[in-house]
């Protein structure tokens, strides 16, 4: 299993966002670990539900900060957030129908981990940089 790790290259520079990213990665790793350890469906379902809830909370927090600061990249962020939400919903449906298949494990290890890191690096960091240009 490829555990993803938070590192300082992922620092956005906004405390609430950085804290949430660390938590988010933790929850993501919890799901991957539960799948890899072949935990029962109830346990895996629980970690997935935690991840989904946290993802929603995180996207809402970010988009709110972007709205408040008049960030011009909000639409692009929102579109990517939406896309990930839909992907997660789809994976949850697959899990409910088919259980923790190899496909689900791969989706977590390869696609989702990369998505998350790429999104933070490419889009969230841009927002952090934008906020720094604004007078406090
Ligand atoms: Fe983020
Ligand atoms: Fe984001």
Dist CA 110 CA 101 (whole Å): 14
Nearest partner of 80 among 111, 58, 110, 59, judged by Cα? 59
What's the pTM?
Answer: 0.92
Q: Which residue is listed with tokens 């590192």?
A: 7
What was the pLDDT predicted at 136? 66
Backbone angles phi, psi at 73, to 5 degrees: -90, 10
What was the pLDDT predicted at 4? 82
Backbone angles phi, psi at 100, to 5 degrees: -80, 85
Dist CA 58 CA 36 (whole Å): 25
Positions of the chain with pLDDT lower than 70, given as ranges:
1-2, 136
| Residue 76 near residue 123, CB atoms below 8 Å | yes
Distance 40 CA to ligand 2 centre (A): 31
pLDDT averaged over the chain? Answer: 92
Distance 135 CA to ligand 1 centre (A): 22
Distance 95 CA to ligand 2 centre (A): 25
pLDDT in tens, 21-58: 999 999 999 999 999 999 999 999 999 999 999 999 99
CA atoms within 13 A on the CB side of 101: 12
What was the pLDDT predicted at 30? 93
Radius of gyration of the chain (CA): 15
| Residue 40 near residue 91, CB atoms below 8 Å | no
């Amino acid at each position: 299993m490829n555990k993803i790790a938070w590192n300082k290259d992922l620092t956005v520079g906004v405390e609430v966002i950085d804290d949430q990213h660390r938590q988010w990665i933790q929850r993501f790793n919890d799901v991957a670990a539960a799948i890899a350890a072949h935990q029962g469906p109830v346990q895996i379902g629980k970690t997935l539900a935690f991840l989904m809830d946290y993802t929603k909370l995180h996207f809402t927090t970010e988009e709110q900060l972007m709205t408040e600061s008049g960030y011009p990249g909000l639409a692009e962020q929102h579109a990517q957030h939406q896309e990930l939400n839909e992907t997660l919903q789809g994976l949850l449906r697959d899990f409910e129908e088919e259980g923790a298949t190899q496909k689900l494990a791969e989706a977590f290890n390869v696609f989702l981990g990369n998505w998350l890191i790429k999104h933070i690096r490419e889009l969230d960091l841009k927002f952090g940089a934008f906020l720094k240009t604004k007078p406090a």
